[in-house]
Amino acid sequence: MNEFQAAPGKTAIVVGGGVAGMSAACALAEAGLRVKLVERRGYLGGRASSYRHPGVDEVIDNCQHVLFGCCTNLIGFYQRIGVAERIRWTSTMTMIEPGGRRTPLKSSRWLPAPLHGLPSLLAAKALTRDDKMALAQAFRKLMQPVPQDSPETLGAWLKRNGQTPGAIDRFWRLVIASALNADVDGIALPYAAKVIRELFLNSAEAGSMGMGTVPLSELYAGAEQFLREHGGEVVFNASVEGAVWDEETSQWTLATRTGEQLADFLVLALPFEGTAQLLPHMPPADGVDALAGQIGKHEHGPICSVHLWFDREITDLDHAVLLDREIHWMYNKSRLQPWRKTKGTYLELVVSASQKFAALSREEAIDLTVRELAEFFPEVAGAKLEKAALVKEVRATFTVPPGIDAARPTAISPWPNCVLAGDWIQTGWPSTMESAARSGHLAAEAVCAAMGGACSYLNPDLKPKGLMRFIRRKQQNSMIFLSQD
């Protein structure tokens, strides 16, 4: 907990109840401000939320969201609101080929980073000898610094560094492109390199994967409770129509459909398109046009998920990576969330970078998913599909092409006592829940700084372990040398 405490009576309004808004609101409440978190919908979570789907009468996540050990700010947010124990962690990822052959990937307990994943890579049945050699060579090169302003795409780098078709299709295009929700030719190399270092090289702990054991809405109920316990509140179903800054009182007046809200500080924790829609209804200020120009350079990447309920057990796996087909990830919600007491099996299948899949009709998408799923799990052929749901999150993430960093603003906005949050601002991370949580913590720090105080809510990255400690030190020394040149 930070020692800084705001002066009595200081207030803040946070617009947007996604991960960015919740993390900012809870940090500010902890700093002693009276916080109102304003959300246009009737539940929290934003693009990472859950709701009762009318077609299946089940509470489902809009998409399966996972976190990793390197997501220090998301983990810190979960710890702050008291729900960290509702995350189930694993260090094993299973790749499955059509036909059912499995390749488990896990970390060695005995080898230091970055060698901890080497035994699994060498034993991987899904990869040929040439694939493994190409991946090992790529990992070795990505241990070295990649300039943040590199104009190269991941796809161009893979071609330049001799990656085999198998390595590209079964690792880079599936694992990395899925993580960044874009095709390899549309991903900036620095972001791909960051994912590789964080998930596969820095430490086994950093690459461990966590999945919620409850729906996201239940997970985020901890944020609402935290705010109420700290004198704040959540205002639901309150679409924002505009904001006015009063120079004399140094206060913001936020106009919503449920009435006006007043506060000393304003945090705009919206997706980039939501921020763009609000700009014409904000006060004139220097820098607004520049901010609008930055927002205009962002594009969306869709993610689709298909939810299937079968009358029997389909697989004993909690989750899996599915190779060579349209469906990419399988999550066995019957096992991950046993409280559901499903008689058969409830599976969620996720398709990232899914422009083609998103264009399918509901019937086409579900039929394709069931047909492909049977290639991995033969039990599907004899099972009865009891119900199904398709969720298309067309604005799931922002894309990360080369040069996107120049279009990511800082937390400081053009207006007084107003800061920005959202996964799309400058966090050093791609479009993830970790980026959103980081942005919320950065926004809270900016508000504290505006009050003349110093607080630290941004959790530091996990330190590299094993041999990676020395490689990171070499990188830092190189950057210091370059900055002095």
Which class in CATH covers the domain with range 11-54+214-298+402-450? alpha beta
Contact status, residue 336 vs residue 88, Cβ threshold 8 Å: yes
How distant, in Å, are the alpha carbons of 90, 118, 155, 222 from that of 394?
29, 36, 24, 27
User: Which pLDDT score, from 0 to 100, does residue 82 have?
Assistant: 97
HSE-up of residue 214 (Cα within 13 Å, Cβ side): 10
How distant, in Å, are the alpha carbons of 6, 135, 147, 191 from that of 50?
34, 37, 38, 28
HSE-up of residue 365 (Cα within 13 Å, Cβ side): 23
Q: What does the pLDDT profile of the chain (485 residues) look like in tens digits?
A: 577 888 899 999 999 999 999 999 999 999 999 999 999 999 999 999 999 999 999 999 988 899 999 999 999 999 999 999 999 999 999 999 999 999 999 999 899 999 999 999 999 999 999 999 999 999 999 998 799 899 999 999 999 999 999 999 999 998 888 889 999 999 999 999 999 999 999 999 999 999 999 999 899 999 999 999 999 999 999 999 999 999 999 999 999 998 999 999 999 999 999 999 999 999 999 999 999 999 999 999 999 999 999 999 999 999 999 999 999 999 999 999 999 988 899 999 999 987 889 999 999 999 999 999 999 999 999 999 999 999 999 889 999 999 999 999 999 999 999 999 999 999 999 999 999 999 999 999 999 999 998 889 999 999 999 999 988 554 443 333 333 33
> What is the Cα–Cα distance from 422 to 223, expressed in whole angstroms?
17
User: Which pLDDT score, from 0 to 100, does residue 477 have?
Assistant: 38
> What is the Cα–Cα distance from 67 to 87, expressed in whole angstroms?
9
User: Which pLDDT score, from 0 to 100, does residue 473 have?
Assistant: 53
Contact status, residue 437 vs residue 77, Cβ threshold 8 Å: yes
User: Which pLDDT score, from 0 to 100, does residue 1 have?
Assistant: 53
Q: Is the peptide bond before 283 cis (omega within 30 degrees of 0)?
A: no
User: What is the edge-to-edge ordering of all strands in the sheet holding 329-332?
Assistant: 102-106, 92-96, 319-322, 329-332, 345-351, 300-310, 385-398
H helices present in 109-215, as ranges = 118-123, 129-142, 154-160, 165-167, 177-180, 189-196, 204-207
How distant, in Å, are the alpha carbons of 255, 349, 449 from that of 252?
10, 44, 18
Contact status, residue 38 vs residue 254, Cβ threshold 8 Å: yes
Q: What pairing do the DSSP bridges indicate for beta strands 34-38 and 233-235?
A: parallel
Structure-block tokens of residue 366: 């579900």
> What is the Cα–Cα distance from 230 to 37, expressed in whole angstroms?
13
Contact status, residue 365 vs residue 390, Cβ threshold 8 Å: yes
The domains of the chain are located at 11-54+214-298+402-450, 92-207, 300-398
Q: What number of other Cβ atoms are within 10 A of residue 407's Cβ?
A: 17
Structure-block tokens of residue 444: 């809270």
Single pTM value for the model:
0.94
User: Which pLDDT score, from 0 to 100, does residue 83 have?
Assistant: 97
The rounded radius of gyration (Å) of the Cα atoms in the chain is 23
Q: Which fold has domain 300-398?
A: Polyamine Oxidase; Chain A, domain 2 (3.90.660)
